[in-house]
Amino acid sequence: MIPRHRPWEEAADFQIGLRPVAPGDWLEGGEADPAARKDPLFAASRGLVWAEAEGSRPGQAEVLEMVEAALGPAPAPPELPPLYAAARRTPDDLCLMEKREGQWRLTALSLSAGSFFTAEEVIGRSLAELHGPVTGFAERFLVRVQRIFDGLRPELVLERRNWTLLNSDALHTPASGPIRARIAEVDPAQAGAALNLRVERQTLRRLPRTGGVLFTIRVWLAPLDSLRKDPDRLAAFARAWRTATPELHAYKRFDLYDPLVEGFLRRAGAPEGD
Ligand code: HEM
């Protein structure tokens, strides 16, 4: 199937890229039993997938109310923290941002499909600290993003997407090392099957009672081969791959995948680059 979201068709650079979506489209669903995937990680790898700061329980409880209002009530074991009880209802990861001493900080998160970061690493971080590794974020985006968090109206649901490419079809990818160490094992003739487009569809919503912001992350995976079915989509991806800004290219380590992707594009019949 052609990937549901194709953010590479819209920009070849980092971007804020937020747009409103209908409240009914807030959570996309599409996974029969998210708890069956998340519960074993919560039991066995707690620090990778779960963290909460002191004082975050009222905000967490409001997140649970919001998710139940969207998906209907569902009993969860009472000992679970409310944000995790909410997260096991939906494929999305849930991140609670609250303003503490003037800064928006991550005060609780359930992160079962983290893209090269873990819950215990990021808990308590401010927007600036979270985005420290993102080239140019502080100069280009930080103030605007802080204003968006400050001004978000309760009735709005905002969406943004980002993407990368990985030699993995796992959702739970807390670290880059083990994945990148296996790039050399990819058979170039099979690159279209071995390499996956990894799209994060993220949303933002105000929690009207406690004042925080709920940030959701839903990861969608599709093999590069899925683009073969549509020459226009294939050409658009080839263009995006070849025109990515140097900063984006470096941040996402596209250099590691360049020969495999170029080989794939050639075999799939994509137009040649300039
Ligand atoms: C309007 C809100 C936000 C914007 C515009 C934004 C933007 C970005 C951008 C441009 C990147 C680089 C990758 C990419 O998307 O292409 C990024 C990475 C990241 N963002 Fe955000 N972000 C937002 C909110 C958040 C929130 C609430 C969190 C809290 C969990 C977060 C955590 C991260 C992390 C952990 C990374 C990866 C940084 C790394 O490489 O270690 N972001 N974000």
Q: Is 250 in the pocket of ligand 1 (CB under 6 A)?
A: no
Banded pLDDT at 70 (limits 50, 70, 90): very high
Report how far residue 29's alpha carbon sits from residue 13's, in angstroms, rounded to the nearest whole number: 28
- Ligand 1 nearest-atom number relative to CA 131: 38
Angle formed by the axes of helices 258-268 and 231-243, nearest 10°:
150
Q: Is 179 in the pocket of ligand 1 (CB under 6 A)?
A: no
Q: Is 254 in the pocket of ligand 1 (CB under 6 A)?
A: no
Long-range contacts of 175-179 (CB under 8 A, 24+ apart): 175/116, 175/118, 176/116, 176/253
Q: Is 238 in the pocket of ligand 1 (CB under 6 A)?
A: no
For residue 14, the CA-to-ligand 1 centroid distance in Å is 10
Which residue has 């009880």 as its token pair?
A: 85
Domain boundaries, the chain: 16-187+196-224
Q: How far is CA 35 from CA 74, 87, 163, in A?
A: 12, 8, 25
For residue 130, the CA-to-ligand 1 centroid distance in Å is 7
pLDDT mean over 70-74: 93
Residue 7 and residue 165 in contact, taking contact as beta carbons nearer than 8 Å: no
Q: Give percent of the chain with pLDDT exceeding 90.
A: 95
- Strand order of the β-sheet with 50-52 is 19-21, 157-166, 196-206, 213-223, 93-100, 103-110, 50-52
In this structure, is the dihedral angle defined by the CA atoms of residues 261, 263, 267 and 269, taken in order, positive or negative? Answer: positive
Tally Cβ neighbours within 10 Å of residue 208: 12
| pLDDT tens digits for range 133-145 | 999 999 999 999 9
Helix runs in the chain, H state only: 34-44, 46-49, 57-71, 82-87, 119-122, 127-130, 137-140, 142-151, 177-180, 191-194, 231-243, 246-251, 258-268
Banded pLDDT at 76 (limits 50, 70, 90): confident
For residue 145, the CA-to-ligand 1 centroid distance in Å is 10
Q: Is 16 in the pocket of ligand 1 (CB under 6 A)?
A: yes
Banded pLDDT at 274 (limits 50, 70, 90): low
Residue 2 has a pLDDT of: 87
For residue 156, the CA-to-ligand 1 centroid distance in Å is 20
Q: Is 162 in the pocket of ligand 1 (CB under 6 A)?
A: yes
Q: Is 148 in the pocket of ligand 1 (CB under 6 A)?
A: yes
Q: Is 94 in the pocket of ligand 1 (CB under 6 A)?
A: no
Nearest alpha-carbon partner for 29 in 8, 6, 4: 4
Strand-pair partners of 21: 157
Residue 28 has a pLDDT of: 97
Q: Is 128 in the pocket of ligand 1 (CB under 6 A)?
A: no
Strand-pair partners of 99: 104
- The tokens of 213 are what? 């912001």
Q: Is 156 in the pocket of ligand 1 (CB under 6 A)?
A: no
Report how far residue 165's alpha carbon sits from residue 6's, in angstroms, rounded to the nearest whole number: 12
Residues 6+ apart with CB under 8 A from 195: 165, 166, 167, 186, 223, 224, 257, 260, 261, 264
**Max Cα distance, the chain (Å):** 60
Closest Cα to atom 10 of ligand 1: 14
Report how far residue 203's alpha carbon sits from residue 199's, in angstroms, rounded to the nearest whole number: 13
For residue 97, the CA-to-ligand 1 centroid distance in Å is 13
Ligand 1 pocket test: which of 120, 134, 141 has the largest number of ligand atoms within 8 Å of its C-beta? 134
| pLDDT tens digits for range 86-100 | 999 999 999 999 999
| pLDDT tens digits for range 174-229 | 999 999 999 999 999 999 999 999 999 999 999 999 999 999 999 999 999 999 99
